[in-house]
Chains A and B, each alone.
Chain A
Amino acid sequence: MGQNDKNKMGIQGRHFIFILMAIVVAAPLIFRVGLPLRVTAEVRQVYGFLDRLPPHSAVIFSFDHETSTLPEMVPLAEALLRHCFRKNLKVFGMALLAEGAAVGDDNLRRIGSEYDKKYGEDYLFWGFRPQFTTAILALGERIDHEFPSDYTGQDIRSFPVMEGIENYKDIAAVITVGDGDIPVYWVNYAQARYGVKIIPAVTAVMATTMYPFLQSGQLVGLAAGLKGAAEYEMLIGKPGRAVKGMDAQSGAHIFVIILILVGNTVMIAGRRRKGR
């Protein structure tokens, strides 16, 4: 009986934390403070690299994520795409996970139209390929063999933007928008073997696993998570939803830290009491 009561209490306590969490995140979204943002060196490296590319250099955006991480992936992709379109780079889209295909196509067209870019002339969406190792390797030989047609099923050679694009040697950088291991595959199979520049735009979860490659120079830079997107939005001078979300991010981090500290204090106090 007593135990049952305790469970009930536990569940209620949990609900209480859930509600607090929702408030901690929602309130700063409604009442914005606008805390100042610091741009990290990793994001600046990405920006600097893309900014120095000569116009009409070709970049690949590979949408290597699923829909579960859209709130992190879309702001990152948007900010980087805006930069590339503004710099008049040729943008090629593709996806190594099926769900990334619809997201990528949508992003390219939406951001492309913001900058009056034409499909097939300034940018192109190749589509989805399963089995990422072999897909990454195949692009190193002949791109038009790997993707004989674009996402809509038209012959890839019929688009003027493909002129002079044979394989990785014509690609200035691959931007992998990924929520899992695929950016590491890009390093292992495209960077090491073909010397392509890789820019990871990844979820915050994957950030720490990128650092060894960043330090070794196998990656150009790193833009990770909503925070990375916010920094990039600042750099291109177009603050959007990521920047607006940063107050909430701050609040929630503090909240979680407080919960950890309080939880541990309660545990230590409980142990002491038991000790007596």
Chain B
Amino acid sequence: MHRKLPLLICFALGTFMLVQFFVPHKASTALYEAILDWVQIIYAFSLLVGAMMLIKHHAVIASGRDAKERPFSILILMGITVMLVAGLFFGRGEGTVFHWLFQNVQAPMQATMFSLLSFFVASAAYRGFRARNSQAIFLLVAAIIVMLGRIPVGEIISSYIPKAADWILNVPSMAARRGIYIGIALGTIATSLRVILGIERTYLGGK
């Protein structure tokens, strides 16, 4: 039952959603709206499952003996608890603990974490980005034109640079991306069809 039923559900719902696209009749819309609701509710639970897994993982470490890792797992659990209690019971608007922690802990740290990349880009530019063949040369030249063309200095060097950047973005780069999109669209249609027909079962775990 736990093997056959999911395949049957996939087939039934997949087919309904596919056909519904072509049918404007209200009878199909009502069921359609209900299904959209259901999916969002179940999906919200699945997100909570992910969070639970993480909590479980760190709860094990926090209660274990690994003195090196323990304090960090305890930090995670503390963070979760404080934020959860604050958000669920004491409001989320301005002036609340939840809002303060979001503004002064979560947001700045997350943004800083990503800004580390600007440093890594700089060192990789010197040590890693190599024009090792003609393809890489094309890539780097396009990159440099775009980088110059999108800043004021590019315009100062030559008025052709921003124009060249515009052209690259609107013509060859755009068209190549379109080719990729069409390929991805076909790939998605093929995968979706396999899911609906029940021949793609990787999501069920194991083949």
Given the complex, which residues of A lie within 8 Å of B151, measured CB to CB?
A: 35, 227, 246, 249-250, 253
Given the complex, which residues of A lie within 8 Å of B194, measured CB to CB?
A: none
B153 contacts A208, C-beta separation under 8 Å: no
Listed residue (A137, A141, A256) with the most chain B CB atoms within 10 angstroms of its CB: A256
A134 contacts B107, C-beta separation under 8 Å: no
CB-contacts of A234-272 with B (<8 A)? 246-247, 249-250, 252-257, 259-260, 262-264, 267
Which of B29, B40, B121, B162 interacts with A256 by CB under 8 Å?
B121
Listed residue (B21, B29, B110) with the most chain A CB atoms within 10 angstroms of its CB: B110
Contact with A along B124-149 (1 / 0, CB 8 A): 01111111000000001000100110
B110 contacts A264, C-beta separation under 8 Å: no
B152 contacts A38, C-beta separation under 8 Å: yes
Query: Of the 9-residue stretches B2-10, B31-39, B65-73, which lies at the interface with chain A?
Result: B31-39
Give the CA-CA distance A257 to B142 in the complex, in Å.
12
Give the CA-CA distance A190 to B53 in the complex, in Å.
34
A27 CB–B CB distance under 8 Å: no
Given the complex, which residues of A lie within 8 Å of B150, measured CB to CB?
A: 227, 253
Give the CA-CA distance A147 to B150 in the complex, in Å.
39
B110 contacts A68, C-beta separation under 8 Å: yes
Given the complex, which residues of A lie within 8 Å of B121, measured CB to CB?
A: 256
Given the complex, which residues of B lie within 8 Å of A211, measured CB to CB?
A: 169-170, 173-174, 177
CB-contacts of B44-60 with A (<8 A)? 44, 47
Given the complex, which residues of B lie within 8 Å of A105, measured CB to CB?
A: 93
Give B30's nearest chain A residue, CB to CB.
Answer: A141
CB-contacts of A52-108 with B (<8 A)? 66-71, 99, 102-103, 105-106
Q: A66-B110, A70-B107 are in contact. Are A256 and B125 (CB under 8 A)?
A: yes
B152 contacts A250, C-beta separation under 8 Å: yes
Give the CA-CA distance A25 to B93 in the complex, in Å.
34
A208 contacts B169, C-beta separation under 8 Å: yes
Given the complex, which residues of A lie within 8 Å of B107, measured CB to CB?
A: 67, 70, 102-103
Number of interface residues of B (CB under 8 A): 56
Listed residue (B37, B122, B155, B177) with the most chain A CB atoms within 10 angstroms of its CB: B122
B123 CB–A CB distance under 8 Å: yes
Given the complex, which residues of B lie within 8 Å of A111, measured CB to CB?
A: none
Contact with B along A3-24 (1 / 0, CB 8 A): 0000000100010011011100
A164 CB–B CB distance under 8 Å: no
Give the CA-CA distance A146 to B34 in the complex, in Å.
10
Which of B37, B93, B130, B181 interacts with A263 by CB under 8 Å?
B130
B130 contacts A256, C-beta separation under 8 Å: no
Given the complex, which residues of A lie within 8 Å of B89, measured CB to CB?
A: none
Given the complex, which residues of A lie within 8 Å of B99, measured CB to CB?
A: 102, 106
Given the complex, which residues of B lie within 8 Å of A103, measured CB to CB?
A: 107
Number of interface residues of A (CB under 8 A): 64
Listed residue (B103, B147, B173) with the most chain A CB atoms within 10 angstroms of its CB: B147
Given the complex, which residues of A lie within 8 Å of B140, measured CB to CB?
A: 260, 264
A6 to chain B, nearest CB (A): 13
Q: A17-B122, A35-B156, A68-B113 are in contact. Are A260 and B144 (CB under 8 A)?
A: yes
B43 CB–A CB distance under 8 Å: yes
B177 to chain A, nearest CB (A): 5
Given the complex, which residues of A lie within 8 Å of B156, measured CB to CB?
A: 35
B203 CB–A CB distance under 8 Å: no
A138 CB–B CB distance under 8 Å: yes
CB-contacts of A132-170 with B (<8 A)? 134-135, 137-138, 141-142, 145-146, 151-152
A259 contacts B111, C-beta separation under 8 Å: no
Q: A141-B33, A256-B121 are in contact. Are A102 and B153 (CB under 8 A)?
A: no
Give A127's nearest chain B residue, CB to CB.
Answer: B92
A68 contacts B174, C-beta separation under 8 Å: no
Q: A40-B166, A68-B113, A267-B130 are in contact. Are A215 and B174 (CB under 8 A)?
A: yes
Give the CA-CA distance A72 to B205 in the complex, in Å.
38
Give the CA-CA distance A46 to B99 in the complex, in Å.
32
A116 to chain B, nearest CB (A): 18
B126 contacts A262, C-beta separation under 8 Å: yes
Given contacts A130-B40, A212-B177, A253-B153, 14 further A-B pairs with CB under 8 A are A18-B123, A35-B153, A38-B152, A67-B107, A102-B107, A106-B103, A138-B37, A211-B169, A227-B150, A246-B152, A253-B151, A257-B148, A262-B126, A263-B129
10 residue pairs from A and B, CB less than 8 Å apart: A14-B127, A17-B119, A22-B119, A67-B111, A130-B40, A137-B36, A141-B29, A141-B32, A212-B174, A260-B126
